[in-house]
Structure 1
């Protein structure tokens, strides 16, 4: 099953579960709770490298599902293009920009280098989060092109109304 980068990690997991268990389609994403994600030291007989335990609102017990996460090395190109970020971007913004550029889901990624190297760093190393539902480890390096922050990124509306005369206190 292909990962849909426009959906959440849980939505993608739910789609994979439903593909093998059609009766599970009665479950809404909001009712699904991921209890744990465990990477297997050795893949099982079916080639699965991950076990996730899920519970569902309104249903007793939990269910364990085994599946194969997608190694980042299979989807990230060998020559990762530079990603443009701005000087006011924080770690989450940078992960979002990198994920968008590569068709990945940002919530499943971590910055290996740590946030202390971000401002002005020429490159960063990214990997799958240890708790990723979708990706297995495969660190890669991304060159960052820093640009100044743009004032228009702060604007919601440029038609800002009018001035009014000051209120006059009638008792004065």
Structure 2
């Protein structure tokens, strides 16, 4: 079953130590994807290089600095609604085991959140700025996980160029 998400709400399940992604489609159907620390860390390890390869600044010696500025700018420009999540309405859930990213012709990114047996899939299309904002919001929800935001100044290597390896 594929759900085309129109919105996403993030909330942390402290009892299970999981980040939950509540997706809603155009008909207000709900589906919750459960994201583990391991998968989010793996995504953080790969995302900067993936975005760099698909960036118009890919050949610039300052591409990391440019991407850091884009990340910071997204935090200021992309609006987020901060509301309490109502869990009263039931929602089917699935463990996200695969996260695919595809760059679309218009410069947007298509994220596919997929479970292990590929029976559940949620598709979310975001601009690059929205992707940066989503990542920052995810990291804020799981700040106790000790994950590094790869676009923050302390993640840049000596002299401000390159990223430290995330292990």
- Normalising by structure 2, we get a TM-score of 0.32
- Larger proportion of helix: 2
- Tell me which of the two structures has the higher relative contact order, counting C-alpha pairs closer than 8 angstroms and 6 or more residues apart: 2
Bigger Cα Rg? 1
